[in-house]
């Protein structure tokens, strides 16, 4: 009874439209939850007091940090959804990427089954958390320039971690390609090799505007490709599963069926804008598309860090303009201190997001850093870098639209820590030993060496443009 097909779930979401608003949101703590996976989803909205008061517009953040793996990514590893009936019973029915794989015979608990994923960290931590709870092993492959804290967290969770040099997506040594290869080496079959000619996600001819080449194989639901074929011998060999968050449609579903309906219910549909960054694109595509399906007038806007091509893609239809393509050495990578959002390639989930994105904001590293320091000083909110980007975009949207009062903007706080009323950052950092950004985004010396200013007056200027 806990398993429903994708189409059934989608139908339920549709038929729920009128029902959702009649049921109040049920926050964590209302009942005893079923293990660590019961903690996933149904996160509260938190009012960002300093910005809301300064702007006269309600800025509300969805507190995804309350997920047990500490980020929005838990939903993708395990997507949670509410049927009207279950909502009445305060029960969370769980549909999982992992359970999807289990249902298809791609994973079997406590038999040495292994999940492979390429990630900059948060998804890996979510995968490893849930894998532990469900009886699976994990192999996580990540670039070696991400914050050390994430590696430590993964190791504590028992994941096998491999770190590789950052490389372009067309390089076989790129972390997603390496994860795919590791899954293939483990015996998983039916996984497309996207590094082969003709199967590359995109290519940018030197000196010309980019042309996005998306092959047919990329558009196929990867779990669909995998069905019946990912594993060599399901009965005798330990199973292996390549989670493939960038291309996996379950990523979108987690937000279309979880995050989006939750936001709608929590606000009773009173939303003027929804703002999110995009790494895989799952959050903005899924939550944004659900919110749009309920009210097409809601502005869905992208917060995009420096070095990402998505801003240009939304605004001008191409990832790069000629000047940028020529001037950027690492053009297939996102060159920013912000981790988790920004992309220079098309993925299935970004494909799903593009049609519903109305506006985009380019956020500089300095702005993200300034916002994070501003919020810790004024609200006691200790945010990760992608959450800070989203909030800068909220302020920029208010400036652009001229909204004055009464409007509500919802954004995602993917990852943050509460500083528990201590506005002294040094104290907070000592308290928050698990902070995933301390060594880079929250490390003043690192920022100075990278020539990124730490200047809160930037936010004052954004809030009060002269
Ligand atoms: N913030 C952080 C910290 C992340 O790790 C990610 C995922 N890479 C995102 C935001 C973006 O979420 P999505 O992949 O759904 O676009």
CB 413 within 8 A of CB 63: yes
CB 248 within 8 A of CB 122: no
What SS3 state is found at 260? helix
Per-position DSSP letters for 403-435, written without gaps between them: --SS-EEEEEE-SEEE-TT---HHHHHHH-TT-
Nearest alpha carbon, ligand 1 atom 12: 279
Ligand 1 atom closest to residue 339's alpha carbon, by position in its atom list: 3
Ligand 1 atom closest to residue 384's alpha carbon, by position in its atom list: 3
pLDDT tens, position by position, for the chain (466 residues)?
Answer: 334 444 554 555 454 443 333 333 445 566 788 788 788 888 899 999 999 999 999 999 998 888 877 777 777 776 533 332 222 222 222 234 777 777 777 888 888 899 999 987 778 888 888 888 889 999 999 988 887 878 888 888 899 999 998 877 777 888 988 998 998 888 876 676 554 433 333 333 333 222 222 222 222 333 333 333 444 444 556 678 888 888 888 888 889 988 999 999 999 999 999 999 999 899 999 999 999 999 999 999 999 998 888 999 999 988 765 555 544 544 455 678 887 889 888 888 999 999 999 999 999 999 999 999 999 899 988 888 889 999 999 999 999 999 988 899 999 997 644 333 333 333 332 222 335 566 778 888 889 998 999 998 999 999 988 7
User: How far is residue 88's CA from residue 203's CA, in Å, rounded to a whole number?
Assistant: 49
Nearest alpha carbon, ligand 1 atom 5: 340
* Ligand 1 touching residue 126 (CB < 6 A): no
* Ligand 1 touching residue 42 (CB < 6 A): no
Nearest alpha carbon, ligand 1 atom 1: 340
CA 192 to chain centre: 23
Backbone angles phi, psi at 355, to 5 degrees: -65, -20
Burial class (CB in 10 A: 0-12, 13-18, 19+), 283: buried
* Ligand 1 touching residue 391 (CB < 6 A): no
Let me know the angle formed at the C-alpha of 66 by 52 and 81, rounded to the nearest 5 degrees. 100
Instruction: Tell me the CA–centroid distance for residue 419 and ligand 1, in Å.
Output: 22
In the structure encoding, which two tokens stand for residue 430, read together?
């000592």
Q: pTM of this prediction? A: 0.78
Q: How many CB atoms lie within 10 A of CB 429?
A: 17
CB 90 within 8 A of CB 28: no
Let me know the angle formed at the C-alpha of 256 by 335 and 43, rounded to the nearest 5 degrees. 80
ipTM of the complex: 0.98
Residue 396's pLDDT is: 98
User: How far is residue 127's CA from residue 136's CA, in Å, rounded to a whole number?
Assistant: 10
The β-bridge relationship of strands 416-418 and 381-383 is antiparallel
- How far from 231 is each of 189, 217, 218, CA to CA, in Å? 6, 19, 20
Residue 173's pLDDT is: 86
Nearest alpha carbon, ligand 1 atom 3: 340
CB 372 within 8 A of CB 388: yes
User: How far is residue 396's CA from residue 206's CA, in Å, rounded to a whole number?
Assistant: 33
The β-bridge relationship of strands 45-47 and 381-383 is unpaired
* Ligand 1 touching residue 266 (CB < 6 A): no
Query: For 205-209, which contacts have Cβ atoms below 8 Å and span 24 or more sequence positions?
Result: 206/325, 206/326, 207/322, 207/325, 207/326, 208/322, 208/325, 209/318, 209/320, 209/321, 209/322, 209/325
Residue 320's pLDDT is: 67
* Ligand 1 touching residue 390 (CB < 6 A): no
Burial class (CB in 10 A: 0-12, 13-18, 19+), 464: exposed
In the structure encoding, which two tokens stand for residue 100, read together?
């999807």
In the structure encoding, which two tokens stand for residue 464, read together?
């009060």
Ligand 1 atom closest to residue 414's alpha carbon, by position in its atom list: 1
């Amino acid at each position: 009874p806990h398993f429903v097909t994708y189409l059934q779930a989608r139908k339920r979401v549709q038929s729920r439209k009128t029902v959702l608003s009649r049921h109040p949101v049920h926050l964590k703590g209302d009942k005893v939850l079923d293990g660590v996976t019961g903690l996933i989803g149904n996160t509260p909205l938190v009012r960002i007091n300093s910005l809301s008061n300064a702007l006269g517009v309600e800025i509300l953040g969805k507190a995804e940090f309350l997920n047990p793996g500490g980020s929005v990514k838990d939903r993708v590893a395990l997507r949670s959804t509410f049927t009207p009936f279950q909502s009445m019973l305060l029960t969370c029915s769980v549909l999982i990427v992992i359970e999807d794989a289990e249902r298809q015979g791609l994973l079997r608990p406590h038999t040495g089954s292994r999940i492979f994923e390429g990630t900059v960290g948060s998804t890996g931590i979510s995968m490893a958390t849930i894998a532990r709870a469900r009886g699976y092993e994990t192999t996580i492959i990540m670039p070696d320039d991400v914050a050390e804290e994430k590696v430590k967290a993964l190791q504590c969770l028992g994941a096998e971690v491999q770190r590789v040099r950052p490389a372009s997506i067309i390089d076989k040594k790129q972390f997603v390609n390496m994860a795919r290869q590791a899954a293939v080496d483990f015996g998983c079959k039916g996984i497309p090799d996207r590094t082969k000619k003709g199967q590359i996600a995109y290519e940018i001819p030197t000196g010309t505007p980019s042309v996005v080449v998306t092959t047919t194989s990329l558009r196929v639901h990867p779990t669909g490709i995998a069905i019946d074929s990912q594993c060599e011998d399901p009965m005798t060999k330990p199973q292996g599963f390549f989670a493939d968050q960038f291309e996996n449609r379950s990523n979108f579903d987690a937000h279309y069926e979880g995050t989006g309906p939750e936001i709608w219910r929590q606000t009773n549909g009173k939303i003027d804008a929804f703002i999110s960054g995009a790494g895989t694109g799952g959050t903005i595509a899924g939550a944004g598309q659900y919110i749009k399906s309920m009210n097409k007038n809601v502005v869905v806007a992208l917060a995009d860090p420096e070095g990402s091509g998505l801003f240009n893609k939304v605004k001008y239809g191409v990832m790069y303009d000629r000047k940028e393509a020529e001037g950027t050495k690492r053009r297939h990578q996102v060159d920013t201190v912000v981790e988790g959002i920004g992309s220079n390639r098309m993925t299935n989930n970004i494909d799903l997001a593009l049609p519903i994105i109305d506006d985009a904001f380019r956020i500089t590293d300095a702005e993200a850093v300034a916002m994070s320091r501003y919020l810790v000083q004024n609200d006691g909110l200790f945010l990760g870098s992608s959450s800070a980007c989203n909030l800068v975009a909220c302020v920029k949207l208010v400036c652009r639209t001229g909204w004055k009062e009464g409007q509500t903007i919802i954004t995602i706080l993917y990852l943050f820590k509460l500083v528990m009323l201590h506005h002294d950052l040094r104290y907070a950092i000592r308290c928050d030993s698990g902070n995933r950004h301390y060594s880079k985004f929250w490390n003043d010396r690192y920022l100075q060496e990278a020539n990124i200013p730490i200047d809160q007056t930037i936010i004052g200027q954004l809030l009060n443009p002269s």
